[in-house]
Structure 1
Amino acid sequence: MIVGLGSDLCNIERIQASLDRFGTRFEARVFTEVERAKAARRPFTAAGTYAKRFAAKEAFSKAVGTGFRRGVFMKDIGVVNAASGAPTLALEGGARQALERMIPDGMTAHIHLTLTDDHPWAQALVVIEALPTDPQSHD
């Protein structure tokens, strides 16, 4: 069952302006090491890479219904790739706790994430699904 849905649209030029103004301070405050490493491998599209990830963080905060309050911080939400290559989220701290609070007993969270960009926009959509922990129990 779907328990959370969030989307966000981020302006790539706004992210570039933050990179130009604050540089590594902005990167370190908002993005995980994995995200910064990915952007470093894409020097000509770093702002777009960051903008998609910024949008994913915003979309997740909307999907769990907290925004960036109640202990949910941007840096606790990281975009990673699953073994299949599909993007998903790695959560820590308050972001993980917010997710755990919304999942019913006997269920496990599965996060669906899609990212796209078309300059000057980057977009992310997060769907949080609660699946039975023991699939046999629902036959």
Structure 2
Amino acid sequence: MIVGIGTDLCVIERFKTMLERRPGLAERLLTEGERALSIESQAARFAAKEALAKALGSPGGMRWLDCEVIKTDDGEPRFVTSGSVAARIEELGIETIHLSISHDGGFATTMVVCER
């Protein structure tokens, strides 16, 4: 059963400018591992977190750093969650989270489907 669906689109140049204008913002949005990636991949991971928040019903109090996007050994993106995000996932009874990420032509786009 689908519990939630979320999508997000991020303009990579606008994301880059936002990080340059607001010192410390990257540290509040992205984990250390995510910050080590290219700006395109950083924007995609931010979009993935936005899409996940939408799929979870956008509850207040969720922390950006309680969610990290990693790649499996096969190159598939997936979430690693903790704290506030993991608590919301448990509250909704979510068992599987599907994540699709793409970035090209100056845009990063993501889609998330949560199932129980």
Same topology, TM > 0.5: yes
Aligned residue identity for 1:49: S
Note the alpha carbon deviations across 1:89-115, whole angstroms, 9 max, x for none: 011111111111111xxxx61111010
Residue 121 of structure 1 corresponds to 107
Larger Rg: 1
Tell me by how many angstroms 1:123 deviates: 0.4
Question: What is residue 62 of structure 1 aligned with on the other side?
Answer: 54
| Partner secondary structure for residue 72 of structure 1 | coil
**For 1:94, which of 76, 84, 93 is the aligned residue?**
84
Within 1, Cα distance between the matches of 2:98 and 2:113?
Answer: 5
Where relative contact order (Cα < 8 A, 6+ residues apart) is larger, the structure is 2
Which structure 2 segments of 5+ residues have no match?
Answer: none
Instruction: Give the aligned length.
Output: 116
Alpha-carbon displacement from aligned partner over 1:16-52 (angstroms, at most 9, x marks no partner) = 10232235x1221110122123x1xxxxxx2211110
Aligned match for 1:49, one of 12, 28, 41 = 41
Structure 1 unmatched ranges of 5 or more: 40-45, 131-139
Q: Which amino acid counterpart does residue 55 of structure 1 have in structure 2?
A: A
Deviation at 1:85? 2.0
1:126 and 1:110 map into 2 onto residues whose CA distance is 10
For the residues of structure 2 that align with 1:34 and 1:47, how far apart are their CA atoms? 13
Give the letter aligned to residue 82 of structure 1: T
CA distance in structure 2 between the partners assigned to 1:109 and 1:9 by the alignment? 25
Dislocated runs of 4+, deviation >6 Å: none
Shift of 1:119: 2.6
Name the structure 2 match of 1:2. 2
Q: Is the 8 A contact 1:55 1:123 kept in 2?
A: yes
Q: Secondary structure at 1:78's aligned position in 2?
A: strand
